[in-house]
Amino acid sequence: MFIREEWYIAAWGDEVQGEKPLARRICGEPVVLFRDATGRVGALTDRCAHRGAPLQLGCVTERGLQCGYHGLVFDRSGTCVRIPGQERIPSRASVHSYPAVEKDGFVWIWIGDAARADASRIVDFPYHNDGERWPHKHTMYPIQANYMLMVDNLMDLTHLGYVHTSTIGGNPNTHVEAEMRTEPRPNGLYFLRWMRNSMPPPTYVKATGFAGRIDRWQEFEYIAPGSVLQWTAAVDAGGGDAAYADGVPEGGLTFRLFHGLTPETETSCHYFWSAANGYRQHDPQATEQLFSEIAGAFLEDKRVVEAQQARLTETGEAGLIDIVTDKARLHMRRVVERRLAEQAQRSAAE
Amino acid sequence: MFIREEWYIAAWGDEVQGEKPLARRICGEPVVLFRDATGRVGALTDRCAHRGAPLQLGCVTERGLQCGYHGLVFDRSGTCVRIPGQERIPSRASVHSYPAVEKDGFVWIWIGDAARADASRIVDFPYHNDGERWPHKHTMYPIQANYMLMVDNLMDLTHLGYVHTSTIGGNPNTHVEAEMRTEPRPNGLYFLRWMRNSMPPPTYVKATGFAGRIDRWQEFEYIAPGSVLQWTAAVDAGGGDAAYADGVPEGGLTFRLFHGLTPETETSCHYFWSAANGYRQHDPQATEQLFSEIAGAFLEDKRVVEAQQARLTETGEAGLIDIVTDKARLHMRRVVERRLAEQAQRSAAE
Amino acid sequence: MFIREEWYIAAWGDEVQGEKPLARRICGEPVVLFRDATGRVGALTDRCAHRGAPLQLGCVTERGLQCGYHGLVFDRSGTCVRIPGQERIPSRASVHSYPAVEKDGFVWIWIGDAARADASRIVDFPYHNDGERWPHKHTMYPIQANYMLMVDNLMDLTHLGYVHTSTIGGNPNTHVEAEMRTEPRPNGLYFLRWMRNSMPPPTYVKATGFAGRIDRWQEFEYIAPGSVLQWTAAVDAGGGDAAYADGVPEGGLTFRLFHGLTPETETSCHYFWSAANGYRQHDPQATEQLFSEIAGAFLEDKRVVEAQQARLTETGEAGLIDIVTDKARLHMRRVVERRLAEQAQRSAAE
C-alpha cells in the first residue's frame, strides 16, 4: 500500500530530454515522462488510448508525444491532439496525466487527486542549484525491495559498521556508541548523531587525509514518504562543536546527500541520490571521488536490503524484534502508518 | 481461448527431419513432431505414457519415436509399439496424436476432434511450390504476444508509417491516405490498398532502384484463425492500373508474403512467414535481400506488439477506443468472435 | 509434501568452513550453515531475529554467526549472544536451530521435533573415511525436480541404455535383460542386478581396458527418504560369481557411489554424490577419471529428469502407466507413501 495524495520523485530532470520519452513505474502505475516543445515535462499513463501500446516506444513531436504504433499524439495534459486518418477526435481519446513539477533537479509527480496537488508542499533541496558551494553528482539505483526497507536502512545507522566497514562506515563500535538526538517533525523526524574522538572511516581518510582521530557528525531529516536529507561533516578531534556552529574549516570534510526513495512496486523502488561536495568545491576530482565512494557503499546497502526483502516476502515479519537502535526507524514507521491510517479513514468517508 | 476444430501451422516442413524430433507448444498443448521412416510427419502429445518424460528428448527409430528415458516407442498414430522388458503392450500405453498434413511447405495439425479433420479446408499457398516464378525464403519468429495482436497489426497498415518508417513503410501520410477497399469473405476478409503517386519507401528503392514516384498496392486476404496472404506490387507512377490488370512489368516490384500466426499460449505465438520474390526471380541475391529487409521490419513489429501485450496483460482493454483506420481489424475480430461464439454454443449443446 | 522427523543431508562437511556461512534451502526451509569457533557445525533458520535479513550475508565470529546488517550474533543453538547497542538480550531474540550431525563426510540436519532427533538412525557410509581402500571425490548437483524423480531414476536402471548409451550405460538390451533380485528392507529396499557375459560400456573400457565380454553387477540399497548406496563391479566374463564372493581381482573394476537426494522445494532438490575408486586406489588419475565420467552421465540424468518435472508440473501424472521394469521403483514409492501416511496419522492424532 502506498501513501497517496503525495508528491513522488519520478526522475532526475536531466533524464527527461530529447526525442525519446522515459518510462518508469511509480507506485505501481506505468508512467511515461517527456519534455514537450515548450520545455515543460509531461507525465502520462504509459498506454495509448487506441490499442494500449506503451507510449514509451513513441517519440516527442511538435504537438506532443506521438505513439510509436499508429501515430496518435497526446499533449502534456493527456489530451489527444491528433489521430492519423480522421478529423474528429473523440473526447474519450485521452490518457491520464499526472501533475508534474520540476524543482531542484528533480521531476516530482503527484499521485492522487489532481485537484489537491499543491506544489508548495514539495521538499526543498536548494543545494542542487548551488554548483559553486555544493557541486554534486547524482544517479538512480533500481532496488528490488519495498521503499520502506531502504528508509529503514537510513534510520538505523549502526548498519554502517557492519555493511560499510571498508568504505563509509569504519569501526562498528563508533556507530553503536554514537550520541544520538532525535526530534519528531510534523511529517517526519530529525536526528543528529555525534561520534566524537573516533577513528575516521576509510572513505574520509581518502577524501581529506585525516591523520588522527576526528569529531564526526551526521544530521538527518526524514520527510514522508521517501525523502531523507543528510548533512555530514568531520574535523580533527576537539574541533567538532566549533565547526558545527561556525562552519567546517579548511582541512575538514563536509558533504550533503539527498536520498529519494520512490516506490516502483510493493517489492521494488527507485533510489534517487546525490552527493554534494562541500569541502573541495573547486576540485571536480573530489566531487567525483566522493560520489564514487558512496556509490560503492550504496551497492552494499542494495545487496543487503534486497536479500532482506526476499526473505520477508517469504516469511513476513512475524517474530521479529525491535532493538534499542531502532528508535528513529520506529518513529519513521509511525509517521508512515499514521498517514496510511488517515488515508484509509478518508477512503472510508468518501 | 483458442478456436478449436481448426488446422494450425505447427512447423515448416523442413524443420521436421532427421533423428531429433521438434517440440512446439500449439494452442497451449505440448506437441512433438517427427518424420517417421516412411517420410510422413507425426504429431504427438510431448509426454511419454510411462513416466511423463517429454518425447522431444528421444530419437526417431525405424518403428517410431523412441522415448529418451526408458525406450518406449510410439508410432505416428500415438500407439506404443515397443516397451523394453516386456512383451505385452497394454492399450493404455498410448499418447494422443494430432491429425497432421504437409502442404505447401507447412506442417498443419488439427486441434479438435480428429473425426472432423478435413484436409480440404487447409489454406492454399501454391507459390511456395513454384521456385521458378516465386522463389522464396522463410522462417519462424517466436512472439511474446497473443496471436490476435499480430493479426491486428496486419489489418491496420497505417502502422507502416510509424513502426517501419525506415524500412518497408516510408512516409506516414502515404499510408493514412491510402485508398482502401475491404470485402468480407465467409471465413475472413479481403482488402486492397492503393497508394498512387507516392514516394517509394527505402526497401523498395533498394530492391529496384525506383527513381521517382510510384503507384503501389497491397492485396491482403485474412483467413481465420491465423493466415494472412499478402500480394504487394509497385511500378512507376501512372502505370499502376495496367500493372494490376496485366502483371508487373520489368523494372517494377512485386512480392508475396505469407503470414501464419499460430497460438503458442494465450500470450505468445509462432509467426511463420515467407517472402517470395516475383520481380528478379533468377537473382538469389534479390530474394535474400527482400527477406532480410522484411526480417528487420518484422522485428520492429515484434517489439511493439510484445510491449503492447505486456501492457494489456496488466491493464486489460478497458477504455481503449477504435478509430477510422481500424475498419479491417474490427471486421477480422468479428469473424473470430463469431467462431468463438459458435464454439461456445456447440460446447453447450454437447 | 516432505517426510518429517527425519535426517537430511544439508551439505558436504567441507562446504562448511571459514568465515562465510553457507545458505541452503532444505525441505522448503531457508537454512544457514556455519562452523563455529569450536569446529562444530550449526544450522539455523536463515533469517535474523531483528529485521529478517538473511544470516548468510554475515560472517562467523568468535561467539557465533554475526548478522551482516546490524551485527546481532547467534550461537549454534540459535540463541542471540550479542545485540550491539544494548546490554539486555530478550529471550525472544533467537532463531530456530536444527539438530546437526557431521558424519562420513556429510552434514546431516534433522527436520522435525528436535526432541526426537536420534543420530544413531543416520545412514552409514564408512567408505568416505577410508581413503586407502576407497579414495573418492564428491560434489553436489542442483536439480530442478522433486527428489522423488531422482530416486525413481536410480530405481529403474533400464534408463542406462537410453540416457547413458555413450557413457556408463552401453547396449540397452543388456540392461533390459539384466537378472534382477529385489529384497524389501524395513525403511527401503535392496536389489542386485547381474549382467553376465555382456559387452562393457564405454566408461568401463576407459577405466580398465576390458578387451572382451564381462560379468557385471550392481548392488543398490535405498534408504528412505533420499539415500541410495551403490556398489558396482565388473570382471572378465566367467569370473563374476567368484569375484562377487571373494572380491574383485586385479584387472577388474569396482566402485562405490553414494547418491544423496535432499528436497530443496517441491520441484527441486540437491543431489549430493560421490564416486569411490576400488580398483586402482593408488592412482589419483583413476579416481579423477571415474568421477569425471560419472559427472557427465549424471548431467544426462539431470537433463531428462528436469524436463520430466516440467511436464509433470504442467500435466500431473494422470494416465501414466507402470511397466515391468518399474518393480523396484514402485516398492520405493510404497515405502515413501507409507511414511507419509504415518506422518499424516500422527498429525491428526496430535
Q: Strands B73-74 and B80-82: what pairing?
A: antiparallel
pLDDT > 90 fraction of chain A, expressed in percent and rounded: 89
Question: What residues does CATH 2.102.10.10 cover in chain C?
Answer: 6-120
ipTM of the complex: 0.94
Q: Is A6-121 a CATH 2.130.10.10 domain?
A: no
**CATH number listed for the domain at residues A130-341:** 3.90.380.10
pLDDT of residue A59: 97
Distance between CA atoms of A128 and A134, rounded to whole angstroms? 7
**CATH number listed for the domain at residues C6-120:** 2.102.10.10
Distance between CA atoms of C100 and B251, rounded to whole angstroms? 82
How many Å lie between the alpha carbon of C46 and the closest alpha carbon of chain A? 9
- Taking 90 as the threshold, does the pLDDT of residue B215 lie above it? yes
Q: Which three cell numbers stand for residue C226?
A: 533420499
- Contact yes or no for A196/A237 (Cβ under 8 A): yes
pLDDT of residue A167: 82
Question: What residues does CATH 2.102.10.10 cover in chain A?
Answer: 6-121
Partners of residue A54 in chain B, C-beta under 8 Å: 307-308, 310-311
Distance between CA atoms of C178 and C215, rounded to whole angstroms? 11
Q: Give 3-state DSSP helix, strand, coil % of chain B, rounded to 5.
A: 35, 35, 35
Cα–Cα–Cα angle for B148, B153, B159, rounded to 5 degrees: 160
Q: Strands A227-236 and C214-223: what pairing?
A: unpaired
User: B307 vs A67: CB contact, 8 Å cut-off?
Assistant: no
Indicate the residue of A47, A71, A84 with minimum beta-carbon distance to B311: A47
- Taking 90 as the threshold, does the pLDDT of residue B173 lie above it? no
Distance between CA atoms of A36 and C205, rounded to whole angstroms? 75
Distance between CA atoms of B27 and B146, rounded to whole angstroms? 10
Is any Cβ of chain B less than 8 angstroms from the Cβ of A153?
no
User: A86 vs B319: CB contact, 8 Å cut-off?
Assistant: no
Closest to A53 (Cα-Cα) out of A43, A66, A41, A63: A66
Q: How large is the average pLDDT for residues B318-336?
A: 96
* Contacts of the segment A82-89: beta carbons below 8 A, 24+ positions apart: A83/A50, A83/B323, A83/B324, A84/B158, A84/B161, A84/B172, A84/B173, A84/B176, A84/B325, A85/B158, A85/B176, A85/B323, A85/B324, A85/B325, A86/B323, A86/B324, A86/B325
How many Å lie between the alpha carbon of A257 and the closest alpha carbon of chain B? 36
User: What DSSP state is assigned to residue B199?
Assistant: P
Task: Write out chain C's pLDDT in tens, 350 residues.
Answer: 899 999 999 999 999 999 999 999 999 999 999 999 999 999 999 999 999 999 999 999 999 999 999 999 999 999 999 999 899 999 999 999 999 999 999 999 999 999 999 999 999 999 999 999 999 999 999 999 999 999 999 999 999 989 998 888 878 888 888 899 999 998 999 999 999 999 999 889 988 889 899 999 999 999 999 999 999 999 999 999 999 999 998 889 999 999 999 999 999 999 999 999 999 999 999 999 999 999 999 999 999 999 999 999 999 999 999 999 999 999 999 999 999 999 999 989 88
Count CB-CB contacts under 10 A for residue A334. Answer: 12
pLDDT of residue C175: 83
Distance between CA atoms of B34 and B46, rounded to whole angstroms? 11
CA dihedral B229, B231, B232, B238 (to 10 degrees): -140
- Taking 90 as the threshold, does the pLDDT of residue A309 lie above it? yes
- Contact yes or no for B180/B158 (Cβ under 8 A): no
Indicate the residue of A30, A46, A85 with minimum beta-carbon distance to B325: A85
Find all residues with CB under 8 Å of C32, minimum gap 6, and list them. Answer: C21, C22, C23, C24, C43, C44, C45, C46, C54, C55, C56, C65
Strand order of the β-sheet with B41-45 is B22-26, B29-35, B41-45
- In the complex, which subunits touch A with 3 or more CB pairs below 8 angstroms? B, C
φ/ψ (deg, to 5) at B155 = -90, -15
Q: Which three cell numbers stand for residue C118?
A: 536420534
Q: Where are the alpha helices (DSSP H) in B118-267?
A: 147-155, 160-163, 172-176, 202-208, 240-246
Question: What residues does CATH 3.90.380.10 cover in chain B?
Answer: 127-341
User: B84 vs C312: CB contact, 8 Å cut-off?
Assistant: no
SS3 call for C275: strand
Distance between CA atoms of B330 and B315, rounded to whole angstroms? 21
* Nearest chain C residue to B51, by CA: C320
Query: Which one of C20, C70, C89, C95 would you mutate to disrupt binding with A, by most A Cβ within 10 Å of its Cβ?
Result: C70
Question: What residues does CATH 3.90.380.10 cover in chain C?
Answer: 126-341
Is any Cβ of chain A less than 8 angstroms from the Cβ of C52?
yes
How many Å lie between the alpha carbon of A268 and the closest alpha carbon of chain B? 17
Distance between CA atoms of A29 and C153, rounded to whole angstroms? 48
Question: What residues does CATH 3.90.380.10 cover in chain A?
Answer: 130-341
Indicate the residue of A68, A70, A92 with minimum beta-carbon distance to B158: A70
pLDDT of residue C18: 96
- Taking 90 as the threshold, does the pLDDT of residue B265 lie above it? yes
Count CB-CB contacts under 10 A for residue B4. Answer: 17
User: B321 vs A90: CB contact, 8 Å cut-off?
Assistant: yes
Count CB-CB contacts under 10 A for residue C51. Answer: 27
The mean pLDDT value of chain A amounts to 95
Indicate the residue of B52, B68, B83 with minimum beta-carbon distance to C323: B83
pLDDT one-digit tens code per residue, B114-126: 999 999 999 999 9
- Contact yes or no for B84/C158 (Cβ under 8 A): yes
User: What DSSP state is assigned to residue A242?
Assistant: H
Taking one residue from B and the other from C, the number of pairs with CB-CB distance under 8 angstroms is 77
Is any Cβ of chain B less than 8 angstroms from the Cβ of C159?
yes
Closest to A333 (Cα-Cα) out of A260, A258, A224: A224
* Nearest chain C residue to A159, by CA: C70
Full DSSP string of A47-90? S-TTT---GGGSEEETTEEEPTTT--EE-TTSBEEEBTTBS---
pLDDT one-digit tens code per residue, B45-89: 999 999 999 999 999 999 999 999 999 999 999 999 999 989 999
**Peptide linkage before A225 cis (omega within 30 of 0):** yes
Query: Is residue B166 very low, low, confident or very high in pLDDT (cuts 50, 70, 90)?
Result: confident
How many Å lie between the alpha carbon of B65 and the closest alpha carbon of chain C? 13
Closest to C159 (Cα-Cα) out of C292, C329, C330, C332: C329
Partners of residue C158 in chain B, C-beta under 8 Å: 70-71, 84-85
Query: Which one of A148, A304, A305 would you mutate to disrupt binding with C, by most C Cβ within 10 Å of its Cβ?
Result: A304
SS3 call for C217: strand
- Taking 90 as the threshold, does the pLDDT of residue A24 lie above it? yes
Closest to C143 (Cα-Cα) out of C304, C326, C313, C311: C304
The sign of the dihedral angle between the CA atoms of C68, C73, C79, C82 is negative
- Contact yes or no for C235/C217 (Cβ under 8 A): no
The mean pLDDT value of chain B amounts to 95
Q: Is C126-341 a CATH 3.40.718.10 domain?
A: no
- Contact yes or no for B52/C315 (Cβ under 8 A): yes
Is any Cβ of chain A less than 8 angstroms from the Cβ of B325?
yes
Q: Where are the alpha helices (DSSP H) in C167-283?
A: 172-176, 202-208, 240-246
Taking one residue from A and the other from B, the number of pairs with CB-CB distance under 8 angstroms is 77
Query: Is residue B170 very low, low, confident or very high in pLDDT (cuts 50, 70, 90)?
Result: confident
Q: How large is the average pLDDT for residues A198-220?
A: 92
Partners of residue A325 in chain C, C-beta under 8 Å: 70, 84-86
* Nearest chain C residue to A317, by CA: C52
Find all residues with CB under 8 Å of A243, minimum gap 6, and list them. Answer: A215, A233, A235, A249, A252
User: What DSSP state is assigned to residue C320?
Assistant: -
Residues 65-94 of B with CB under 8 A from C: 66-72, 83-86, 90, 92-93
Distance between CA atoms of C53 and C47, rounded to whole angstroms? 5
Q: Which three cell numbers stand for residue B188?
A: 475472413
The secondary structure of C134-178, three-state, reads CCEEEEEEEECCCHHHHHHHHHCHHHHHHHCHHHHHCCHHHHHCC
pLDDT one-digit tens code per residue, A39-71: 999 999 999 999 999 999 999 999 999 999 999
Count CB-CB contacts under 10 A for residue A344. Answer: 11
The sign of the dihedral angle between the CA atoms of A234, A238, A243, A244 is positive
Partners of residue C25 in chain A, C-beta under 8 Å: none
Distance between CA atoms of C48 and C25, rounded to whole angstroms? 16
- β-sheet bridge partners, residue C101: C108
Q: How large is the average pLDDT for residues B192-205?
A: 93
Partners of residue C310 in chain B, C-beta under 8 Å: 54
Distance between CA atoms of B111 and B98, rounded to whole angstroms? 7
- Contact yes or no for B320/A49 (Cβ under 8 A): yes
**Peptide linkage before B90 cis (omega within 30 of 0):** no
User: What DSSP state is assigned to residue C251?
Assistant: T
Q: Tell which CATH classification among 3.90.380.10, 3.40.980.10, 3.40.640.10, 3.40.50.2300 matches the domain B127-341.
A: 3.90.380.10
φ/ψ (deg, to 5) at A97 = -120, 150
pLDDT one-digit tens code per residue, B248-263: 988 899 999 999 999 9
How many Å lie between the alpha carbon of C95 and the closest alpha carbon of chain A? 9
Q: Quote the distance between the C-alpha of residue B35 and its chain's center.
A: 21
Closest to A81 (Cα-Cα) out of A28, A44, A119: A44
How many Å lie between the alpha carbon of B278 and the closest alpha carbon of chain A? 29
Distance between CA atoms of C125 and A15, rounded to whole angstroms? 62
pLDDT one-digit tens code per residue, A105-140: 999 999 999 999 999 999 999 999 999 999 999 999
- In the complex, which subunits touch C with 3 or more CB pairs below 8 angstroms? A, B
Distance between CA atoms of A267 and A44, rounded to whole angstroms? 23
- Taking 90 as the threshold, does the pLDDT of residue B130 lie above it? yes
